[in-house]
Amino acid sequence: MKYWKGIEELDNSPEFAKNAFAEFPDFLPVKESRAGDAEDTSVAPRRDFLKLMGFGVAAATLAACEAPVRKAIPYLNKPEEVDPTISNFYASTYFTGSDYNAVLVKNRDGRPIKLEGNPESPVTRGGLSARAQAAILSLYDGGRLQHFMAKGKKVDFEEADRAIRAGLNSATGKITIVSPTIISPSTKRAIAAFAGSHRNVEHVMYDVNSASGLLQANGGVLPAYDFSRANVIVSLGADFLGTWISPVEYSRQYITNRKVRSDGPAKPTMSRHYQFETALSLSGSNADIRVPVKPSQMAAVVLALYGAIVGGGAVPTLTPAINEKIKTAAAELQNNRGASLVVAGSNDPAVQSLVAAINQSLGNVGTTVDLTNPSYVRQGDDARMAQFVRDLNNGAISAVFFYNANPVYNHPLGAQIKAGIAKAALSVSLNDRLDETGSLCQYQTPDSHWLESWNDYEPKRGFLSLAQPAITPIFKTRQGQESFLRWAGSNETYYNFLKAGWRNVLGANGFQAAWDKAVHDGVATGTALAVAPAFSSPVIGAAEAVSRLRNVTAAPAGTVELALYEKVGIGEGGVEANNPFLQELPDPISKATWGNYVAVPRAMAVANKWEQGDVLSVSAAGVAKPLNLPVLIQPGQADGTVSIAVGYGRMMAGRVGDNVGENAFPFAQVGKDGIVYTNAVTLKATGANSPIAQTQTHHTIMDRREVVQENTLAKYRENPKEVTEYERIATPEGLEKPSKVSLWQDYQYNDHHWGMAIDLNSCIGCGSCVIGCQTENNIAVVGKQQVINRREMHWMRIDRYYSSNAHKSDFDEKGKLDTYAAMEDPSDNPQVVFQPMLCQHCNHAPCETVCPVLATTHSSEGLNQMTYNRCVGTRYCANNCPYKVRRFNWFSYYSNEKFEDVNGHMFTDLGRMVLNPDVTVRARGVMEKCSFCVQRIQLGKLEAKKQKRRPLDGEVVAACAQSCPTEAILFGDMRDPSSRISKLLKREDGERAFHVLDSINVQPNVTYLTKIRNVEQSAFFPEEKPA
Amino acid sequence: MQHVSPVREPLVTSGKTYHDVTQDICYQVEAAPNVRWMGALAVALVLLGVFFYSVYRTLWYGIGEWGLNKTIGWAWDITNFVWWVGIGHAGTLISAVLLLFRQKWRSSINRAAEAMTIFAVICAAMFPVLHMGRPWLAFYVFPLQNTLGSLWANFNSPLLWDVFAISTYFTVSLVFWYTGLVPDFATIRDRAKGKIAKVSYSLLSFGWTGSAKHWSRYETVSLILAGVSTPLVLSVHTIVSMDFATSVVPGWHTTIFPPYFVAGAIFSGFAMVLTLMLITRVVFKLEDYITLEHIALMNKIMMTTGSIVGVAYITEFFIAWYSQVEYEQYCFINRATGPYWWAYASMMTCNVITPQLVWFRRVRYSILLTFILSIIVNIGMWFERFVIIVSSLHRDYLPSSWAMFSPTSIDVGVYVGTIGLFFTLFLLFAKFFPVINMAEVKTILKYTVNDGPTYGGTNDGSQSASRRNSPTPYSTPGVPASAPVNYDKHD
């Protein structure tokens, strides 16, 4: 419908069209003063002048009155589904070349503000990794390239397409697409369509964290593992809970065998987890038995295990301690044939062949190892990538496309790629930013963010999932797949292209309904990817592998071996590097943020007189640039080895990520069987000192059983009522529960009483909850210096304690002072416990009484609330909090220019889109802390109220609990007797349920469940030594 | 002639007459500022500049300019606060408690001590305000009527008690101090020559005429205020100590804190009074009024309170052991042997060991040693508060949160700055206000009746040596005209 301005518009004469859009006509009919026309000069020009001036003034005035353009434009017509302030959830999928997560995107007023795990997914089952949690912030990353570019100039899509097509048509050599692993069937089809329309197209996939060896050993497929069916797990350097292949999926499986309860039909059991590794990883810290080994010993360990299980000759030389552990591991594996699992993180095909042979021999194939429905998340072939580098440098490639790949930065041969790109006649980057690789290309055609895109994924054969756009592209970017279709000469949208492909999956009958359901659920069953082996290299037979590994020469004595590893947060340092949430996510083990470091064992530091923070120069043969990184003394690090995380040292990631740490990728070696993530290095102290930003600087529990309780499985099986040591206080009537004696009146909770239970057995320490909480609650990022100053703002943190060799039982023998001093030092290979710590919402909260202005008070539902507006910032509450969970706004994190680099998303209109409108951004000078996600509680209550009922159990979930991949956190209403938390607390009362620091009688609403270890002796609280 | 007691040491030496007293004390107010005073003021003003700069940084950027962190929410700020409040204690003690106990020797030092109290409390009051994240909302702590519904001050909070304790203490001290000043202002007013001085001191003296009625009211008010102030000496630091004692932090949660803090406050207060007196008597040549006897007496009080504090330190250890509470025990072991052992050692040395030197008469009567000792005690008492606050907080319950504190330049700046503020105020006071209570000092001059009190004759602003030494002094039998008759106070 259209209203005409007048009859002229309907006629649409050329004259009208000319004037229609001009604010003013070309000229005003002013009578010109003409020379020689004496009569008029004195009169008419003056009047005209007045007319002109009058009009001019009026026009200027009117123009000045124009209202400024408001950024928030109300909808004229309300879009379907969108209600102001009501959030919608859309199913989508996160996959950025490493871990896969099915997600739900929380959309509020047209913009995605949070990601949550998609419980419908049979793969990740509602869990979400820390990286995926933080990915929402990358959508609003100002460091993304905001338009297409050609040779340094901004261009539009058509111009870029024209130029690229022209380049393609004149290509004589190979046309190569370099990408990380692509698990999207439709993307592969789009690339195939592109390949079909040009000659000589090859697609090279490479993985930064390569599993080439594993693929090769299994005939080109990546076995799907099922940790939930394994009673014995032996991991040879595979950090399957942290970074290896599909950590969220594995964590979920792993934990099913680790949760215990005493009311089951049988006595509780747990899996036994052995970990042989160099650096203390997340998996190693969760292992029951962890054995530190050097990278050069790994071959011998595999051989020894192979020898013990399959049988095969001489056992190579290893220390007796390691041999003994291998023997017990082998024995347990054999006792659990078909219900055990051996995995290895090595990229050596020989190692992986033996591991495959061990699993085969144990009868695990078909139970814990599935080769028929393999995983697809690693398809990279190191050999092909190496070939690509050679081709690029010898001019065989005339066009190269980098599709979300940044090999100049993250490939060991990055320097050669950097030199070679110029040799290709056409170079195009589809990377989302002008990164190390993209900036060397002639054309930049940035891919849209996955939250702006349609896509499909098949992480495992038979499991499909979809991504749908949750927002229109923020910048002038185009989906990579669509770009390939354009360059293939097709004008089809990728959406139609993808949907057409899905007809084969869902079937033509009732397609629309099935499609709608798939889009709604985000996941579907069916398969679209071929199982075809991507590998030409032959599978290495076990015999050959044995002989190859026998020939591995031991490193000469005194060699310092370097093991490279990925951080749980930063990963390979792609888009994550410019994500301040992930930069500030403490490493689960070292608790370090903002940068990498050299993790050294204590013995090495002592021998070389290195202190933590001393900067070392790390060099290796064949590596051009030594790294200057600070020392971090890491308990558990194998003797004679050091570890450095990759993913740091970006130079062109954006404001956040640039110059954080140093790039360790060049230290990886390109061997003939693929990339080797170890090296021999020389370390030299530079004399400089650079403090490491750790969120925890004291590492042992100091024998404070009241803080963390743990016990052994044997004890738990014997009597579950004896695993937790409950604190008693002395009263005239004898020892009593601390809550028996109180000066306080108890609160009455008539309606709800919110509570949380955290199972220390289930928590693996991954940090997903930390980021989930940060995105939900608009928690500021404070940057490296403020973390060094111990001022990080995380409401939810994960305390990590190492066990120590010293215990209180040594008091008599060694004296109190010496024992306490010794208790501060962790063991060389410690047991590790993780404890998520957040506001305990005490019923007798010490913070509440001391606030002079009543800014923190107790709610009628058991919450300890902060009234930010009322807070004057005395910090008394924080001092008086025994759990130290209160966080103070030392600065204006949203306006102080010091924080613009790290907390930039609170400074720009673009970044602020990510903020949760339900949660206030806290001002300078106020205290903040966990609110139990009160906004989610209110929403849940409101929804229930609208339906005139009580909220159902599970409807109200705090962000941390929602995010947890292992369901370690349970949130609910303790007033509701049928809620899971009520039942759990009832069941575990007197068994594993305990409150941290029970004796000070603050009566927390957060309950922890004692950790049970499948070990003979807890290193934290060993049984009293026999007299 | 001044009467000299055969048994007592005279409280004012050199045979001062009433006129000499007036003359000596008014001289400082009336004469042009001397160079040493100007030098001292210049230094104080520089430090005051540091104060303003540091406060500007704190207010403009936030408390993050200090070295605090998530574990240690208070450090130098509250250390300084308690330190200053403690220093403020001596003034009230000297003026009120010693008045009630009829300790005559207090007369020559009470004015300066009270001034010190007021300035110390002003410095102290800076910190509770500055340490707030949002000091512009500091008025929230007052139980004011507001439109925010049920929001009001929290009467459970010791910080709120602090607000009342400090403000009451400050008000009473100020009124007490000012009441004492009124007769002396009148004296200066009467002697003033300049117009501005005349007007100002007229205003300040509230129309004091020296009539018997005035004196009678003056005495009554002084006594009442002394009575009111005396419990305040105990209450203020008791309440300050409750900031810590009512908490759950190991090392804070201690019932011994109230007496321990009060003793510590008197201890540090006397140390500060000594520091100031020793400077003042040199700068303003008041050796005859602030005598070695004063110094020795104050040293004794300092030593006594120092020993009380020492006993308290040891008691804390005993209780930690006796209670068998893990956290309490660790807290004290950590205090003495942990990363902050040096602060603890400084505290022990300065507060417990060094003051024991006062047992030696030679130390007690040595001006130099007393001065050094007073400085040491001031340092020691600062460390005491630092030890209590920081060493308790930095390692409390959860080892994961254990942290260290290191001050920033702004922390130091605010602290040093308040010292500048204190000395600026004190120097201004010393120049423009009578630094010794003339009226009360005159009551402790001893005369035989016939030797009688003396008038000074014409006020020529100079101390005539000839008159003082003249063989026939003024000799007027009867009651002196301008000296108050206070029969209670005569020995």
Q: What is the pLDDT of residues A449-490, one digit of tens each?
A: 999 999 999 988 888 999 999 988 999 999 999 999 999 988
> Is A883 close to B398, i.e. CB distance below 8 A?
yes
Structural domain includes residue B24? yes
Please provide the CATH number assigned to the domain covering A555-694: 2.40.40.20
> Is B399 close to A701, i.e. CB distance below 8 A?
yes
Structural domain spans, chain A? 7-65, 212-375, 555-694, 710-1013
Q: How do strand A598-600 and strand A627-633 relate by DSSP bridges?
A: parallel
> Is B134 close to A925, i.e. CB distance below 8 A?
yes
Asked whether A115 and A105 are in contact (CB, 8 A), the reply is yes
CA distance B240 to B258: 8
> Is B398 close to A816, i.e. CB distance below 8 A?
no
For residue B3, the model assigns a pLDDT of 56
Structural domain includes residue B4? no
Question: Number of H helices and number of E strands within chain B?
Answer: 18, 0
DSSP H or E run through A614: strand A614-620
For residue B484, the model assigns a pLDDT of 47
Report the chain B residue with the minimal C-alpha distance to residue A871.
Answer: B134
Q: Is residue B464 scored above 60 in pLDDT?
A: no
Q: Is residue A122 scored above 90 in pLDDT?
A: no
Report the chain B residue with the minimal C-alpha distance to residue A696.
Answer: B400
Q: Is residue A881 scored above 80 in pLDDT?
A: yes
Q: Is residue A30 scored above 60 in pLDDT?
A: no
SS (H, E, C) A1-12: CCCCCCHHHHHC
Structural domain includes residue B148? no
Please indicate whether residue B147 or residue A531 has the higher confidence score (pLDDT): B147
CA distance A581 to A779: 9
pLDDT tens-digit series, residues A614-666 = 999 999 988 888 999 999 999 999 999 999 999 999 999 888 989 999 999 99
DSSP string, A773-797: HHHHTTPPP-HHHHHHTT----SSE
Residue B26: partners with Cβ closer than 8 Å, 6 or more residues away? B187, B188, B191, B434, B438
- Which residue is associated with the tokens 């503000």? A113
Q: Give the confidence band of B459 by pLDDT, cuts at 50, 70, 90.
A: very low
Which of A701, A872, A884 has its CB closest to that of B401? A884
Q: Give the confidence band of B486 by pLDDT, cuts at 50, 70, 90.
A: very low
Structural domain includes residue B248? yes
> Is B62 close to A880, i.e. CB distance below 8 A?
no
- What is the residue type of B334? N
List of chain A residues whose C-beta atoms are within 8 Å of the C-beta of residue B333: 816-817, 820
DSSP string, B403-432: ------HHHHHHHHHHHHHHHHHHHHHHHH
Q: Give the confidence band of A56 by pLDDT, cuts at 50, 70, 90.
A: confident
Per the prediction, chain A carries an average pLDDT of 88
Q: Give the confidence band of B466 by pLDDT, cuts at 50, 70, 90.
A: very low
pLDDT tens-digit series, residues B405-448 = 999 999 999 999 999 999 999 999 988 888 888 888 887 776 54
Helix-strand-coil split of chain A, %, nearest 5 = 30, 20, 50
Please provide the CATH number assigned to the domain covering A212-375: 3.40.228.10
Cα–Cα distance list, A325 to A230, A292, A319, A567, B284 (Å): 19, 11, 10, 27, 84
Q: Give the confidence band of B96 by pLDDT, cuts at 50, 70, 90.
A: confident
Q: Is residue A408 scored above 60 in pLDDT?
A: yes
CA distance A596 to A612: 13
SS (H, E, C) A92-113: EEEECCCCEEEEEEEEECCEEE
Asked whether A506 and A526 are in contact (CB, 8 A), the reply is yes
> Whose CA is closest to B358, among B412, B320, B396, B303?
B303
> Whose CA is closest to B82, among B381, B309, B394, B419?
B381
> Whose CA is closest to A82, among A90, A92, A70, A71?
A90
Question: Number of H helices and number of E strands within chain A?
Answer: 33, 43
List of chain A residues whose C-beta atoms are within 8 Å of the C-beta of residue B247: 846, 850, 879-880
For residue B487, the model assigns a pLDDT of 44
- What is the residue type of B323? S
- If phi > 0 it is left, if psi is from -120 to 50 it is alpha, else beta; for residue A990 that is left
> Is B157 close to A850, i.e. CB distance below 8 A?
yes
**Distance from the A912 Cα atom to the nearest Cα atom in chain B, whole angstroms:** 22
**Distance from the A830 Cα atom to the nearest Cα atom in chain B, whole angstroms:** 16
> Is A849 close to B61, i.e. CB distance below 8 A?
no
Q: Give the confidence band of A1 by pLDDT, cuts at 50, 70, 90.
A: low
Q: Tell me whether domains A212-375 and A555-694 share a fold.
A: no
List of chain A residues whose C-beta atoms are within 8 Å of the C-beta of residue B68: 875, 888, 890
The predicted model gives A189-202 an average pLDDT of 90
> Is B159 close to A816, i.e. CB distance below 8 A?
no
> Is A849 close to B148, i.e. CB distance below 8 A?
no
Which of A701, A849, A925 has its CB closest to that of B133? A925
Q: Is residue A808 scored above 60 in pLDDT?
A: yes
Dihedral of CA B260/B262/B266/B268: which sign?
Answer: positive
Dihedral of CA A634/A636/A637/A643: which sign?
Answer: negative
CA distance A669 to A677: 6
**Distance from the A723 Cα atom to the nearest Cα atom in chain B, whole angstroms:** 21
Domain, as residue range, for B101: 18-140+156-454+473-489
Say how many domains are in chain B: 1
Token pair of A756, please? 């949380």
List of chain A residues whose C-beta atoms are within 8 Å of the C-beta of residue B397: 704, 707, 882-884, 997, 1000
> Is A837 close to B67, i.e. CB distance below 8 A?
no
Which of A849, A925, A1000 has its CB closest to that of B63? A925
Q: Which long-range contacts (CB under 8 A, 24 or more apart) does B462-465 make?
A: B462/B23, B463/B20, B463/B23, B463/B24, B463/B27
Structural domain includes residue B308? yes
For residue A282, the model assigns a pLDDT of 94
Report the chain B residue with the minimal C-alpha distance to residue A799.
Answer: B400
Q: Is 3.30.70.20 the CATH number for A710-1013?
A: yes
Structural domain includes residue B409? yes
Q: What is the pTM of this model?
A: 0.88
For residue A63, the model assigns a pLDDT of 65
Report the chain B residue with the minimal C-alpha distance to residue A851.
Answer: B157
Q: Is residue B14 scored above 70 in pLDDT?
A: no
Top-ranked range on mean pLDDT: pick from A5-14, A61-70, A78-87, A193-202: A193-202
Q: Is the ipTM of this complex over 0.90?
A: no
Q: Is residue A937 scored above 50 in pLDDT?
A: yes
> Is A889 close to B133, i.e. CB distance below 8 A?
yes
Percent of chain B with pLDDT over 70: 87
CA A930 to the chain's CA centroid: 21
**Distance from the A694 Cα atom to the nearest Cα atom in chain B, whole angstroms:** 11
CA distance A60 to A68: 15
Q: Which long-range contacts (CB under 8 A, 24 or more apart) does A161-168 make?
A: A161/A483, A161/A486, A161/A487, A163/A443, A164/A426, A164/A428, A164/A443, A164/A445, A164/A487, A165/A487, A165/A489, A167/A399, A167/A425, A167/A426, A168/A198, A168/A399, A168/A426, A168/A487
> Is A874 close to B159, i.e. CB distance below 8 A?
yes
List of chain A residues whose C-beta atoms are within 8 Å of the C-beta of residue B243: 876
Q: Is residue A737 scored above 80 in pLDDT?
A: yes
Q: Give the confidence band of A160 by pLDDT, cuts at 50, 70, 90.
A: very high
pLDDT tens-digit series, residues B33-71 = 888 889 989 999 999 999 999 999 999 999 999 999 999
**Distance from the B138 Cα atom to the nearest Cα atom in chain A, whole angstroms:** 7
Structural domain includes residue B11? no
For residue A402, the model assigns a pLDDT of 93
Q: Give the confidence band of A44 by pLDDT, cuts at 50, 70, 90.
A: low
> Is A852 close to B141, i.e. CB distance below 8 A?
yes
> Is A849 close to B246, i.e. CB distance below 8 A?
yes
pLDDT tens-digit series, residues A816-869 = 889 999 999 999 999 999 999 999 999 999 999 999 999 999 999 999 999 998
Structural domain includes residue B1? no
**Distance from the B247 Cα atom to the nearest Cα atom in chain A, whole angstroms:** 6
> Is B157 close to A852, i.e. CB distance below 8 A?
yes
Asked whether B269 and B306 are in contact (CB, 8 A), the reply is no
> Is A884 close to B71, i.e. CB distance below 8 A?
yes
Q: Which of A787, A790, A998 to mutate to test the interface with B (most CBs of B within 10 A)?
A: A790
Please indicate whether residue A38 or residue A308 has the higher confidence score (pLDDT): A308
Cα–Cα distance list, A98 to A378, A574, A600 (Å): 8, 10, 27
For residue B448, the model assigns a pLDDT of 47
Report the chain A residue with the minimal C-alpha distance to residue B246.
Answer: A850
**Distance from the B323 Cα atom to the nearest Cα atom in chain A, whole angstroms:** 11
Report the chain B residue with the minimal C-alpha distance to residue A788.
Answer: B69
Q: Which of A707, A785, A853 to mutate to test the interface with B (most CBs of B within 10 A)?
A: A853
SS (H, E, C) B192-216: CCCHHHHHHHHHHHCCCCCCHHHHH
Q: Which of A807, A884, A1001 to mutate to test the interface with B (most CBs of B within 10 A)?
A: A884
CA distance B189 to B196: 10
**Distance from the A816 Cα atom to the nearest Cα atom in chain B, whole angstroms:** 9
The predicted model gives A422-450 an average pLDDT of 92
Please indicate whether residue A69 or residue A153 has the higher confidence score (pLDDT): A153
Q: Which of B136, B324, B400 to mutate to test the interface with A (most CBs of A within 10 A)?
A: B400
Please indicate whether residue A305 or residue B448 has the higher confidence score (pLDDT): A305
> Is B398 close to A799, i.e. CB distance below 8 A?
yes
> Is B62 close to A886, i.e. CB distance below 8 A?
no
pLDDT tens-digit series, residues B280-298 = 888 777 787 788 888 888 8
